[in-house]
Amino acid sequence: MAGPYAWLLCWAVAVAFSLGLTYVAPAWILPLFNSFTPLEDGPLRRALETYARKVGFRLSGIFVMDGSRRSTKGNAFFTGFGRRKRIALFDTLIKEHDTDEIVAVLAHEVGHSKRGHIKQRLALGVIRTGVVFYLMSLFMNSPDLFAAFGMAHTSIYAGLVFFILLYTPVSLVLSVIGNAISRAHEYEADAYAARTTGTPQAMISALKKLSASTLANLTPHPLTVWLDYGHPPALQRIRALSALIR
């Protein structure tokens, strides 16, 4: 019905669905798979709230997630937008790390927000989705492409197959660019955490423990990092943080 501009409609629907899912996930979807309980009052909660006030970051809540149900990996993440922002701490993170280290992890996540990384990643995701739908529209409506494969008539099903085959190198290029941006963001967030907490050593200690719990490869091949890593190897992050101490 939309003709050559159908890809724009599909793009708009996909973006709207993605944004809506991000907004409702903290309250309706994530609790279906894990339990979230408010962090009890104590030194850790007070330390996290004190840090958030110090840097002017508003939190609607601090929750503990039962991540140990599926993994021994420690983690923390933000959910929600605006005034609905809340932080979820894995119970494994609280168990294995001291207060200074957890504050450093929080500071790292706050750094992503303060540096605009979350908005940048969202914008890049929207652009990438638009590229996918635009290229799909080209592949599915190109008589020359079908003729190149020996087909006299266009076909939606064949067009999807051609798109999957031909989009692979495009996806690789976009992935490499996205990973490079993501790695740069991680360094910036680490530096923000070190500067605002005043204790780079706490972030270093947290990275060491997180690497040990996940059995992370500390020295992957540079080409592997360039192609596949959205986060810099822990050893490189530790070296960058150590340089801030000197």
- Give the residue numbers marked as catalytic: 109, 190
Cβ neighbours around 138 below 10 Å, total: 14
Residue showing tokens 């495009």: 170
Q: How many residues does the chain have?
A: 246
Identity of the amino acid at 204: I
Alpha helices in 89-155 (DSSP H): 91-96, 99-114, 117-140, 143-148
Q: How far is CA 161 from each of CA 129, 136, 157, 175, rounded to the nearest angstrom? A: 18, 10, 7, 21
Q: Using CA atoms, how far apart are residues 36 and 67, in angstroms rounded to an integer?
A: 10
